[in-house]
Chains A and B, each alone.
Chain A
Amino acid sequence: MDLKELYQEIILDHGKNPRNLRKTENFNKDAKGHNPLCGDKVHVYLKLDEDKKVQDISFEGQGCAISMASASIMTDLVKGKEEHEVKEIVQDFLEMIKKKDKLNNKILEENEKTKLMCLSGVKKYPMRVKCATLSWHTLTSAIDNTQEEINSENID
């Protein structure tokens, strides 16, 4: 059943107890995202070290189980990765959520990919895809330092 695929145990767990839901001290990059249709908001904070490695990442915000779980899993997975790796993971995730069957990046471990694939249930719920992608777009914006608030209505 599709609902069970959407609301898998891991999504419910991350939705209920989001990891890294806080504000990184001394963050050096950040960005905000907003979904005007539902009012969901997210603020992503990044702390990159000299080697451009993610020393810490966190987020603040409120939203549905899907958006909270997505941000939670995202922050868990990109911690410790290098900036260019993060970008690759984001790209891979966004492509997967939209069209591909699986993740192709060589950065994440298999078990990490399995975790991320739990979010693929939203594919059957086109109206909910934005819930899953908002924090990821916001992370990109933080890395690129665009200083622009991500508006889920203006991205695909």
Chain B
Amino acid sequence: MNIENIKKQFPIFNNKVHNNDLVYLDSANSSQKPQVVVDRIYDFYTKEFSNVGRSVHYLAVAATNLYEETRSLVQKYINAKDPNEIVFTKGATEAINLVANTFGQKFLKEGDEIILTELEHHSNYVPWHYLRRSKGVQIKFAEINSDGEISLESIQKLISPKTKMIAITHLSNVTGAILPIKEITRLAHSKNIPILIDGCQGAPHLRIDMQEIGCDFYAISCHKMYGPTGLGILYAKKKWLEALPPYQGGGGMISEVKKDGITFGDLPNKYEAGTMATAQVIAFAESIKFLNQIGIKNIEKHENELTKYGEEVLRKNNSVTLVGNPKNKGSVLSFTLDGIHAHDIATILDEDGVAIRAGHHCCQILHDKLGLAATARASLGIYNTREDIDKLNESINKCKKIFNK
């Protein structure tokens, strides 16, 4: 696999940042977009645009078919049983809110318990927190170990007869820890507890197979998967989508509307109220094709090697401390630098065209636990190379020089 050729497919790298080549190390935040995805959006708007699922004219039918084609592609990509188990949302955030809201409405009552982990992104905590307020449910956090991992036992310990949902990340966007989601799913199901996986960081980097994992819900963020912004995916087992109430009300999701009552439409329309992010959905088909063309096995292999290389290089740099040390680690390298705040690091690196993220990465619970106000994070994508890691390290050394460290 030739990474330089893959990188060439991303037009962003034709631009300079502060007169330097761009070293993009912020893919956990959002990935860059290949030309085919950008072109697809342009082509759709210039040649094929119509709203979907409403009109019977030529353009509407064609657009509807394209829209549904993406659904089928996604279904195959994640090996869901049924295309109707794929719901488009505005992002992973909305996907999780959808589940928390509808599941909470129908199945939760005061005193019920939800298990999360200390690794969760605010997107997989705040929606459940609402239920704490509206329903009086309790939230328990499975604790990380000293390597920043979540073990099966840490979750097992918290399960009680009152546990009604387990919602956990697939791959931590801070420590990079990959959770044993298959085992946790087996555990949950052995106690009849449904499980939601926040797959924002899992889906772009790892092979995911819904039937093999067996989870009830899996949330995906398309903009982190070389796809457009404004789009996410909720995978949910059909039995849940049938059992849960609709989330938002509006056009497209109804069956019959009378003055004295409304019946709701069938799947998948039930959860796709209003005009959806049509162009984004249609362009996302190109992201899936792009991923398929490279092959997720190759992506995993490349990113794994690069993550290991990154760990090695940063460990050798004696002022750098990596955040977490999980054995099973995905493409995230969070770190601190002795005596230099993450924001100063990010500003100095930026001057060299090295784009990283600094802050708590929407994981304040984790940062509090680690006793860190902020960390710097370099996260990888398919276009990154060893040279990028070397440039990162060089710029870190420049920080040290500026701060006389």
On A, residues with C-beta under 8 Å from B are 2-3, 6-7, 12, 16, 37-41, 62-66, 125, 127-128, 131
Between A and B, how many residue pairs show CB distances below 8 Å? 52
* Contact yes or no, B341 A63, CB < 8 A: yes
Q: A38-B358, A39-B367, A128-B343 are in contact. Are A12 and B351 (CB under 8 A)?
A: no
A-B contact pairs, 16 of them (CB 8 A): A3-B351, A6-B347, A12-B403, A39-B359, A39-B367, A39-B373, A40-B373, A40-B374, A41-B373, A62-B373, A65-B344, A65-B403, A66-B343, A127-B347, A128-B343, A128-B347
Chain A residues with Cβ under 8 A from B403's Cβ? 7, 12, 16, 65
Chain B residues with Cβ under 8 A from A63's Cβ? 341, 343, 373
* Contact yes or no, A38 B360, CB < 8 A: yes
* Contact yes or no, A125 B347, CB < 8 A: yes
Instruction: Give Cα A16 to B341, complex, Å.
Output: 11
Instruction: Give Cα A2 to B341, complex, Å.
Output: 19
Instruction: Give Cα A66 to B345, complex, Å.
Output: 12
B348 an interface residue at 8 Å Cβ cutoff? Answer: yes
Chain B residues with Cβ under 8 A from A40's Cβ? 343, 373-374
* Contact yes or no, A38 B359, CB < 8 A: yes
* Contact yes or no, A66 B344, CB < 8 A: yes
* Contact yes or no, B374 A38, CB < 8 A: yes
A3, A6, A63, A127, most chain B CB atoms within 10 A = A3
Number of B interface residues in the complex (CB < 8 A): 19
On B, residues with C-beta under 8 Å from A are 339-344, 347-348, 351, 358-360, 364, 367, 373-374, 402-404
* Contact yes or no, A38 B343, CB < 8 A: yes
Instruction: Give Cα A73 to B228, complex, Å.
Output: 45
Instruction: Give Cα A155 to B185, complex, Å.
Output: 44
State which of A2, A39, A64 has its C-beta within 8 Å of the C-beta of B360. Answer: A39
* Contact yes or no, B364 A3, CB < 8 A: no
Instruction: Give Cα A131 to B402, complex, Å.
Output: 19
Chain A residues with Cβ under 8 A from B339's Cβ? 16
The smallest C-beta distance from B369 to any residue of chain A, in angstroms, reads 13
* Contact yes or no, B341 A64, CB < 8 A: yes
Chain B residues with Cβ under 8 A from A128's Cβ? 343, 347
Instruction: Give Cα A62 to B373, complex, Å.
Output: 8
The smallest C-beta distance from A107 to any residue of chain B, in angstroms, reads 30
Instruction: Give Cα A40 to B341, complex, Å.
Output: 10
| Nearest B residue (CB) for A12 | B403
A2, A37, A64, most chain B CB atoms within 10 A = A64
| Nearest B residue (CB) for A9 | B404
* Contact yes or no, A37 B351, CB < 8 A: no
Instruction: Give Cα A132 to B368, complex, Å.
Output: 23
A6, A16, A38, A125, most chain B CB atoms within 10 A = A38
* Contact yes or no, B344 A64, CB < 8 A: yes
Chain A residues with Cβ under 8 A from B343's Cβ? 38, 40, 63-64, 66, 128, 131
Instruction: Give Cα A16 to B404, complex, Å.
Output: 10
Q: A38-B358, A62-B373, A64-B341 are in contact. Are A12 and B347 (CB under 8 A)?
A: no
The smallest C-beta distance from B126 to any residue of chain A, in angstroms, reads 13
* Contact yes or no, A65 B404, CB < 8 A: no
* Contact yes or no, B364 A7, CB < 8 A: no
The smallest C-beta distance from B11 to any residue of chain A, in angstroms, reads 24
